[in-house]
Structure 1
């Protein structure tokens, strides 16, 4: 950045963000006509990445950049990958995202952290949180609304919190005390003796033989190619996209900030829609997928 621009640079944040996202959309559309990326096209996309490298740890670039890097690592840009990038760009530049979803999810994180901050979660606090959740149900399918809502509903079903329930709620909510870093929450499903009904299945039974898997997000342990190889060796298949025949959609845990929009992205949106139509698609967190691999 030229030194003459620095004085007013901070006042153009949203305009710069929209320009960056629009430029990315144009680049992706321009190089994806043949679904392959040649060296010159890759260099052009890498130029966009390098231009925004210093912002890689800041939202929303900490969502966009891992998605792009993962998409191009094999030198190809499939239709599914292109649609994922386009979906996320459209969400990130929408007025709904800026004005409502972002603010309310950030508030939810702060609420959970504040409840846990004194080391004691009370029934009155959970009732207040439950009322807030009911007033903000437009956040459904955005992490961590569904998980928090399920946990609060289960714990408060008898109107009181026992010691075990307190331990679980306090442990989960404590992850939100650290508000200002990019630490990934790696335990979105609470499984310590409490059955929850949320977006991700809790302690799911995962069968590999003759099952169809799809992956979204970034894995903390494997590349997409490695994941496909593991599933194939256990008798399963891997699909690039979400369809009616899909059995499992696995959400990766790594490379996303703890309230990432990308984590619950286009594939999850489609899977939820198909489940509402009666399709038996199980949405699995990566941790449970790794457990199933170990058991197999």
Structure 2
């Protein structure tokens, strides 16, 4: 079954639930700061049995990582270390350093360099902003000669995430736009994910 067919047959709530379960599993796996072969195989088996989880970020990214690691039928120490690091980054776990597990859903890989918001570029605002209401932020974008977009597409240069976005963003309504941006990035499209503060700084210093 193709990824497109699976996405079309599932509602958004099912995709969100699959992502929540997956991140919960990964949080448990990386909690002790170690990754065992049996855990890698278990995660691979779960993804095979729950294909819906691989149709959205971070499931599609994790599935790709596992495919690369398991391609030759063995897991060496370098691959295990790399996979553990990537999984910890995805769920935001720093248990080994702090003794606690961040149960929030996957951290966002914000872009912080080369933020060139030239006139005419299309951006999508999502989340709750410290600057003000969504309408106020859209007016600011227009004043900076940017084009606000209600949806995330290949034509969008950047998704700007409000300062008050929850760590558990996947459960919020605005999480749909963030997941879509991550899916486009996984497909090789250049789309930035930018913090509100970095966006404000970029357009003010342009």
Residue among 76, 80, 89 paired with 1:160? 76
Deviation per residue, 1:50-72 (Å, 9 max, x gap): xxxxxxxxxxxxxxxxxxxxxxx
Paired position in structure 2 for 1:260: 171
- 1:237 and 2:147 aligned: yes
Q: State the alpha-carbon separation in 1 of the partners of residues 27 and 89 from structure 2.
A: 11
Aligned length: 180
Taking structure 1 as the reference length, the TM-score comes to 0.43
CA shift at 1:209, angstroms?
A: 0.8
Matched with 1:107 is: 21
CA 1:294–1:188 in 2, change beyond 3 Å: closer, same or farther? same
Structure 2 unaligned spans of 5+: 1-9, 95-99
Q: Distance in 2 between matches of 1:165 and 1:265?
A: 26
Cα separation, 2, equivalents of 1:107 and 1:125: 16
Q: CA deviation at 1:111?
A: 1.1
Distance 2:29 2:153 in 1: 40
Q: Partner of 1:265: helix, strand, or coil?
A: helix
Q: CA RMSD in A?
A: 4.6
User: Alignment partner of 1:188: what SS?
Assistant: coil
For structure 1, list consecutive stretches of 5 or more residues without a partner in the other structure: 1-94, 190-200
Higher relative CO (Cα under 8 Å, sequence separation at least 6) belongs to 2
Paired position in structure 2 for 1:116: 30
**Which one has a bigger Cα radius of gyration?**
1
Partners of 1:254 and 1:126 lie apart in 2 by 31
